[in-house]
Amino acid sequence: MVVNTVLSVMAYDYPPEKLSIYLSDDGGSDLTFYAMLEAANFSKTWLPFCKKLKVEPTSPEAYFRTASEPVNAEWLSVKKLYDEMKMRIEATTKLDRIPDYICKQHKGFREWDFVTSKRDHQTILQILIDGRDINAVDIKGDPLPTLVYLAREKRPQYHHHFKAGAMNAL
C-alpha cells in the first residue's frame, strides 16, 4: 500500500522539480526502505506511462485492477514490471529480512548495521531520488521528483511517543 501511494503521488500532474515526496517511517524498517528503493526504480517506467496514457488512478495497483485499456505491448510490459516488483517486495517481506545480495546493491542498507532495535536507533535519512540531480530521469529522459526516506531517531532515554515527533523530524 505504501509503494502504491508513493508512486501515485510521484505521478501527480505537477512539475517534478517542484515535487518532493518524504516517507516518514516511524517503524524504521529496512523492509520499508527496500520497498521504497523498488518504487524509485519502477517510477522511471511508471511516470512516463502515466503521462502518455493519462492514467487514472495513478496508483499502479488500483489502475491495473480496474483498467479497461486495450492490452498492448507497452501496457503488458509495464504490468509485468509492476508484478515483478510486487513479487520481489512480497518475497522479501515473507523472509522478514533483506538478503545480503540486495543489501550490497545500495549503501543505504548500511544504516541498519547500527540499529540496536526499533526503539533504539539513529536517524536514518536517505535521498532515494534527488530531483536536483540531472541524472535523476525516467526512461524518456524527463526529470523525476525527489523521493526521501526518513526514520527518526529513537532512544530509550528520550520520550518519542508524540504525534508530532515524526513531523518535527521531517
**Distances 161 to 25, 30, 48, 98, 150 between C-alpha atoms, Å:** 14, 21, 40, 27, 17
| Prediction pTM value | 0.88
3-state class of 133 per DSSP? coil
Cell 485499456 sits at which residue? 69
C-alpha cell at 105: 546493491
Q: Is the per-residue pLDDT at 110 higher than 70?
A: yes
Distance (Å, rounded) from C-alpha 111 to C-alpha 95?
20
Query: DSSP character for 145?
Result: P
Residue 100 assigned ligand-binding role: no
10-50 confidence digits (pLDDT tens)? 999 999 999 999 999 887 888 999 999 999 999 999 999 99
